[in-house]
């Protein structure tokens, strides 16, 4: 339970070395420090409590801390902020950019609060949560990163809330290898790949987000992905608002999927899923396209004002249609290829 105060410090040109190592019950304020290091400026482990104010970190930092407020953390040979080994704390109001690895990395049961940061222009991803990482990630702006804006993987369960995640060179938010958690009330837009991807056993809760303006699809669920996708607005994407592929089985409820430059929902290659009480409208291609041995259940959806068919089913696919309203679509309500079998109840 050491107590240490560090103020008004310049630390220059150390290589592969911790400038300060704090662990096991340390309580340490750091104020007005200027740290200029090659690999590790400050590394703190379990039960450490620190607070940084007005720190500038130049040239190749990899910062592992418990409290980080109002710093510029940039141009590192590794990542920006690294929280691990049951780490906690507040990461707030920082400008994290231009690092070689993730701007913020959270792993091994760590659970920080990450709030009001700008995380951008990284050579890798923005925020990487893995190995059962947790945390509340809220009201950040994550943009213009080379890889995914946020990755969630390997049993991690963060809560991402009210963030702006945009203008990335790949995916906005990427759940894979049993990545879970909650994605709610975010604005996700203008990515080169999908706004959200879910794959390989991942089962997040995706709710009340706006997912729009992508150069690919809105949400892609593939390779046995799951997920509860509820109350989102998904619009103006270059490809399908939602893709469901390769043995994936998500639940979509009460979403508005509209004004897409392709189809509304496309289900291919053995995709399944429950589509319930969604509004699917004004899409350039079919409101729902079901193909190649897929078999979803569509219940109580409204599919209307499309520029092609309402529902199109082809290539040995089947579907169960229950109580849907399909109206005012340019090429008719239901288009079935020869040999397709559909179970209909009250549509």
Per-residue pLDDT tens for 57-84?
A: 333 334 444 578 899 999 999 999 999 9
In a domain, 208, yes or no: no
In a domain, 154, yes or no: yes
- Is the distance from CB of 84 to CB of 64 less than 8 angstroms? yes
In a domain, 206, yes or no: no
In a domain, 204, yes or no: no
Residue 44: both structure tokens together: 């703190």
Shared domain check, 188 and 227: no
Higher pLDDT, 40 or 324: 324
- Number of structural domains the chain divides into: 2
Confidence of residue 338 (pLDDT cuts 50, 70, 90): confident
Confidence of residue 347 (pLDDT cuts 50, 70, 90): low
pLDDT of residue 13: 36
Shared domain check, 105 and 8: yes
In a domain, 119, yes or no: yes
Q: Among residues 150, 178, 193, which one ends one of the domains? A: 193
- Is the distance from CB of 155 to CB of 134 less than 8 angstroms? no
Tens digits of per-residue pLDDT, 143-184? 999 999 999 999 999 999 999 999 999 999 999 999 999 999
Q: Among residues 143, 176, 193, which one ends one of the domains? A: 193
Give the range among 38-52, 57-71, 84-98, 119-133 with minimum mean pLDDT.
Answer: 38-52
Among the listed residues 203, 295, 213, the one whose alpha carbon sits nearest the alpha carbon of residue 260: 213
Q: Among residues 178, 193, 208, which one ends one of the domains? A: 193
In a domain, 260, yes or no: yes
Shared domain check, 339 and 268: yes
Shared domain check, 242 and 135: no
Shared domain check, 167 and 243: no
pLDDT of residue 341: 86
Shared domain check, 178 and 29: yes
In a domain, 166, yes or no: yes
Distance of CA 144 to the CA centre of its chain: 14
Shared domain check, 276 and 151: no
Q: Is the pTM of this model over 0.75?
A: yes
Higher pLDDT, 206 or 39: 206
pLDDT of residue 345: 83
In a domain, 211, yes or no: no
Shared domain check, 116 and 174: yes
Shared domain check, 61 and 14: yes
pLDDT of residue 256: 98
Range of the domain at 53: 1-193
What distance in Å separates the CA atoms of residue 85 and residue 107, rounded to the nearest whole number?
A: 7
Confidence of residue 135 (pLDDT cuts 50, 70, 90): very high
Give the range among 12-16, 66-70, 134-138 with minimum mean pLDDT.
Answer: 12-16
Residue 327: both structure tokens together: 């109206």
Higher pLDDT, 21 or 321: 321
Mean of the pLDDT values across residues 29-55? Answer: 38
Shared domain check, 121 and 51: yes
CB-count burial class (<10 Å; 0-12, 13-18, 19+) for 178: middle
pLDDT surpassing 60 at residue 257: yes
pLDDT of residue 23: 38
Mean pLDDT of the chain: 85
Task: Count the neighbouring beta carbons within 10 Å of the beta carbon of residue 345.
Answer: 10
Shared domain check, 231 and 181: no
Determine the 3-state secondary structure of 279 from DSSP: strand
Shared domain check, 178 and 68: yes
């Amino acid at each position: 339970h050491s107590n240490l105060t560090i103020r008004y410090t310049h630390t220059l040109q150390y290589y592969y070395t911790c400038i300060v190592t704090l662990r096991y019950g340390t309580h340490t304020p750091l104020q007005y420090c200027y740290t200029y290091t090659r690999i590790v400026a400050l590394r703190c482990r379990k039960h450490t409590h620190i607070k940084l104010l007005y720190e500038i970190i130049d040239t190749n930092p990899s910062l592992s801390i418990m409290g980080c407020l109002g710093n510029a953390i940039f141009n590192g040979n590794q990542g920006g902020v690294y929280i691990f080994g049951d780490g906690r704390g507040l990461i707030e109001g920082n400008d994290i950019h231009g690092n070689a690895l993730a701007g913020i990395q959270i792993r091994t049961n760590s659970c920080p609060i990450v709030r009001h940061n700008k995380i951008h222009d990284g050579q890798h991803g923005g925020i990487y949560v893995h190995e059962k990482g947790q945390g509340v990630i809220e009201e950040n702006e994550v943009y213009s990163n080379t890889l995914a804006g946020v990755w969630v993987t390997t049993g991690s369960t963060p809560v991402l809330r009210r963030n702006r995640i945009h203008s990335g060179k790949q995916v906005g938010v990427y759940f894979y290898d049993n990545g879970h958690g909650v994605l709610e009330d975010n604005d996700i837009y203008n990515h080169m790949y999908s706004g959200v991807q879910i794959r390989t056993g991942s089962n997040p809760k995706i709710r009340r987000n706006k997912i729009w303006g992508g150069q690919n699809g809105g949400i892609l669920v593939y390779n046995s992905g799951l997920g509860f996708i509820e109350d989102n607005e998904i619009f103006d994407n270059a490809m399908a608002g939602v893709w469901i592929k390769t043995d994936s089985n998500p639940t979509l409820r009460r979403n508005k999927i509209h004004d897409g430059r392709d189809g509304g929902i496309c289900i291919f290659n053995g995709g399944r899923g429950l589509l319930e009480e969604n509004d699917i409208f004004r899409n350039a291609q079919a409101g729902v396209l079901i193909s190649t041995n897929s078999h979803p259940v569509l219940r109580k959806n409204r599919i209307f004002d499309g520029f092609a068919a309402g529902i199109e089913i082809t290539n040995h696919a089947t579907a169960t249609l229950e109580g849907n309203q399909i109206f005012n679509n340019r090429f008719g309500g239901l288009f079935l290829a020869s040999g397709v079998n559909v179970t209909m109840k009250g549509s």
